């Protein structure tokens, strides 16, 4: 029986930017679709059997039923479509949804299209209120809580328990923005020092401005299919290393941090999502068996918590391993070569897809100055809320 | 740039294709852009639902939580269903004292309502393990920021002031020695 494990046929994204007011969200998404189809050298868009549309917020995008509108404007009608939403995990969940569509035999090809207008179309005050709406309205939002504050309280608990230092996560803020310097689609490439991060203005202790990820406008698209469909429809597919989307894991946790007590230092659901993905991919030793990872660095410290929860290092060791360079481009497991949410940017619905695109670019060996030598297996880690929905996806290069 | 057409009373401008896309710009004919101001205002009749009693009792100076009749977990904030046992919970009152487990100093808030906007910065967002509870209750701690530390003892203070949201009929203060 031929394999139904999805392959990556093509990928395309817009540059991530603080402000794309030269276009509407539907036009932005269309740019990503055109880039993706050109990358796949797909001649006939009507060959695509299904789309999965990924966006988080009706409020930011000023549009409900945006999925149907994007479908229309990208020229995907009359193919079936579904919109997927899961907070920060939206893009990764959309990929996972496409994975299940293909694996189940419902269809052989799916275009996954994500976008968001989180940039300067609203003030940062309005942006904070809109994001706070994804917290518990009566118990977290109405007391003035922001996501920065919830993450900060969680990181504070991690520091108390494990001795993690502010310099540890400042290293993440420096490294990811440095990595972004080699990514032409990155929003905020910067050359910084740990001292710069430490001196930036406080937002919610221990997080300072440069520990926080970006508000972005952007779109990203990935075409997934069966191997047979890809060979039939995409001339580009046969010309480059074959990249399979081999495994996906998902798990959930309470939306309020306090309801997880005493598990408030780390992302408990991320541990479970990773275990589920590793079992599917046959991974026993993630640090040895994974070559690259795009990790959800919504805040610099969240990456430290995540590398522990993904099993790269033991609980509590993330900060120390980070400062030693374990996750730097020349380290044991390069993390966020794209620049991550801190350097590349984070238009929510596109974020998880952009992570997967970075992994595909690396496995295709076309990541330019970011290229990790002979990368064969890569992971994306994405979550909603403060680890409320966690999704881990794994991609592998498969040589004949 | 302002509009040269007086019938179009909005600003517009010419833009360039964003980097790093290659020349020639495929959208060259679509580079005149107008950005307009758009405002939405919403008001809701917002139900506090099955947990309304928590808020109603704040007015009487009582701190109410729920507990699971099967496993005994005590939920603060209350939950109406125990997610582990699937049992409908029961109300009980707690003393209103607890221990700060983690916190942050917020240098800005979300500005959600007038109650929040009136708070002096930085705001201490506290996660408190109430005495007798199993979960952490998040709220504002009004205290000297320099003296705040995990492990400190706190208590609920009640406010009879008119507030935009009834959650502001309480806040935390350091436990007063008696």
Structure tokens at A321: 């391993």
Pick from A129, A145, A202: which is nearest to B107 by CB?
A: A202
Q: Return phi, psi of residue A94, to 5°.
A: -65, -40
Interval A344-373 mean pLDDT: 98
Interval A15-43 mean pLDDT: 96
Q: Tell me, what's the pLDDT at A128?
A: 84
3-state secondary structure of B49: helix
CA distance B150 to chain A (A): 8
Give long-range contacts, CB 8 A cutoff, 24+ apart: B160-166. Answer: B160/B59, B163/B115, B164/A142, B164/B113, B164/B114, B164/B115, B165/A138, B165/A142, B165/B112, B165/B113, B165/B115, B166/B48, B166/B55, B166/B58, B166/B59
Of A86, A74, A80, which Cα lies nearest the Cα of A110?
Answer: A80
pLDDT band at B178 (very low <50, low <70, confident <90, very high): low
Inter-chain CB proximity B127 and A256 less than 8 Å: no
Q: Return phi, psi of residue B104, to 5°.
A: -145, 155
Inter-chain CB proximity A203 and B136 less than 8 Å: no
Q: Tell me, what's the pLDDT at B106?
A: 97
User: Which of B108, B110, B124, B140 best probes binding to A when mutated, by most A CB atoms within 10 angstroms?
Assistant: B110
Q: Return phi, psi of residue A303, to 5°.
A: -65, -35
CB A5 within 8 A of CB A224: no
CA angle A323, A328, A331 (to 5 degrees): 100
Beta-carbon pairs below 8 A across chains A and B: 140
Distance CA A237, CA A6 (A): 13
The string of pLDDT tens digits covering residues B38-79 is 988 889 999 999 999 999 999 999 999 999 999 999 999 999
CA distance B160 to chain A (A): 17
Residue A322 pLDDT greater than 70, yes or no: yes
Inter-chain CB proximity A141 and B112 less than 8 Å: yes
Helix A300-309 and helix A268-281: axis angle, to 10°?
50
The string of pLDDT tens digits covering residues B68-84 is 999 999 999 999 999 99
Residue carrying the six token digits 């002096």 = B120
Q: Find chain A residues with C-beta within 8 A of B169's C-beta.
A: none
Distance CA B135, CA B76 (A): 6
Chain A: residue nearest B101 by CA? Answer: A157
pLDDT band at B4 (very low <50, low <70, confident <90, very high): low
Q: Tell me, what's the pLDDT at B170?
A: 98
pLDDT band at A219 (very low <50, low <70, confident <90, very high): very high
CA distance A364 to chain B (A): 20
Chain A: residue nearest B42 by CA? Answer: A59
Pick from A128, A143, A153: which is nearest to B104 by CB?
A: A153
Q: Find chain B residues with C-beta within 8 A of A261's C-beta.
A: 101, 127, 129, 134-136
CB A131 within 8 A of CB A147: yes
Inter-chain CB proximity B110 and A146 less than 8 Å: yes
Q: Tell me, what's the pLDDT at B7?
A: 77
Q: State the complex-level ipTM.
A: 0.95
Q: Tell me, what's the pLDDT at B22?
A: 73
Pick from A15, A17, A261: which is nearest to B136 by CB?
A: A261
Q: Tell me, what's the pLDDT at B62?
A: 98
CA distance A118 to chain B (A): 16
Chain B: residue nearest A129 by CA? Answer: B110
Of A20-29, B17-26, B134-143, the poorest mean pLDDT is in: B17-26
> From residue B69, how far is each of A107, A159, B80, B83, B153 by CA, in Å?
48, 35, 12, 12, 28
Inter-chain CB proximity A144 and B165 less than 8 Å: no
Q: Tell me, what's the pLDDT at B2?
A: 47
Inter-chain CB proximity A21 and B35 less than 8 Å: yes
The string of pLDDT tens digits covering residues B147-173 is 999 999 999 999 989 999 999 999 999
The string of pLDDT tens digits covering residues A274-307 is 999 999 999 999 999 999 999 999 999 999 999 9
Q: Find chain B residues with C-beta within 8 A of A207's C-beta.
A: 104
Residue A387 pLDDT greater than 70, yes or no: yes
Inter-chain CB proximity B135 and A143 less than 8 Å: no
Starting at the edge strand that comes first in sequence, how are the strands of the sheet with A242-252 ordered?
Answer: A81-84, A51-54, A109-117, A217-225, A7-13, A242-252, A389-398, A377-383, A292-294
DSSP state of A135: S
């Amino acid at each position: 029986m031929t394999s139904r494990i999805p392959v990556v046929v093509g990928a395309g994204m817009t540059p991530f930017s603080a402000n794309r007011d030269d276009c509407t969200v539907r036009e932005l998404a269309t740019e990503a679709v055109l880039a993706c189809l050109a990358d796949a050298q797909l001649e006939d868009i009507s060959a695509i059997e299904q789309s999965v549309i990924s966006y988080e917020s009706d409020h930011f995008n000023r549009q409900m039923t945006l999925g149907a509108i994007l479908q229309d404007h990208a020229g995907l009608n009359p193919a079936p479509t579904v919109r997927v939403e899961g907070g920060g995990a939206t893009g990764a969940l959309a990929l996972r949804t496409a994975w299940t569509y293909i694996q189940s035999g419902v269809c052989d090809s799916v275009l996954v299209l994500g976008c968001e207008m989180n940039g300067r179309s609203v003030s940062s005050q309005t942006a904070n209120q809109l994001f706070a709406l994804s917290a518990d309205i009566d118990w977290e939002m109405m007391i003035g809580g922001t996501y920065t504050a919830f993450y900060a309280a969680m990181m504070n608990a991690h520091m108390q328990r494990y001795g993690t230092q502010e310099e540890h996560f400042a290293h993440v803020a420096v490294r990811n923005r440095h990595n972004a310097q080699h990514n032409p689609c990155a929003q905020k490439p910067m050359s910084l020092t740990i001292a710069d991060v430490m001196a930036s203005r406080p937002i919610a202790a221990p997080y300072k401005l440069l520990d926080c990820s970006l508000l972005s406008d952007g779109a990203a698209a990935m075409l997934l299919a069966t191997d047979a469909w890809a060979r039939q429809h995409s001339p580009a597919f046969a010309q480059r290393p074959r990249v399979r989307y081999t495994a996906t894991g998902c798990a959930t946790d309470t939306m309020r941090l306090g309801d997880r007590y005493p598990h408030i230092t780390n992302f408990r659901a991320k541990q479970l999502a990773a275990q589920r993905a590793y079992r599917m991919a046959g991974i026993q030793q993630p640090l040895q068996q994974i070559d690259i990872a795009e990790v959800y660095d919504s805040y610099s410290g969240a990456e430290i918590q995540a590398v522990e929860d993904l099993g790269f290092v033991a609980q509590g060791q993330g900060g120390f391993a980070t400062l030693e360079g374990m996750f730097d481009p020349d380290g044991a497991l390069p993390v966020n070569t794209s620049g991550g949410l801190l350097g590349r940017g984070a238009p929510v619905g596109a974020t998880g897809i952009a992570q997967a695109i970075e992994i595909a670019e690396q496995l295709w060996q076309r990541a330019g100055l970011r290229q990790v030598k002979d990368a064969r297996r890569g992971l994306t880690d994405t979550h909603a809320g403060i680890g409320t929905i966690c999704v881990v996806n794994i991609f592998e290069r498969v040589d004949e | 740039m302002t509009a040269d057409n007086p019938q179009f009373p909005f600003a517009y401008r010419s833009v360039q294709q964003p980097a790093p896309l290659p020349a020639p710009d495929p959208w060259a004919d679509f580079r005149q852009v107008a950005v307009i101001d758009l405002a939405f205002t919403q008001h809701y009749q917002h139900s506090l639902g099955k947990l309304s009693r928590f808020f109603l009792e704040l007015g009487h100076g009582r701190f109410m939580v729920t507990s699971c009749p099967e496993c005994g977990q005590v939920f603060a904030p209350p939950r109406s269903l125990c997610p582990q046992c699937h049992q409908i919970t029961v109300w009980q009152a707690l003393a209103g004292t607890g221990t700060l487990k983690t916190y942050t100093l917020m240098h800005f808030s979300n500005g959600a309502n007038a109650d929040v906007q009136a708070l002096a910065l930085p705001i201490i967002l506290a996660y408190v393990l109430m005495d007798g509870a199993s979960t952490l209750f998040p709220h504002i701690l009004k205290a000297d920021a320099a003296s705040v530390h995990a492990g400190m003892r706190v208590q609920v203070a009640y406010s009879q002031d008119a507030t935009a949201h009834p959650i502001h009929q309480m806040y935390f203060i350091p436990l007063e020695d008696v």
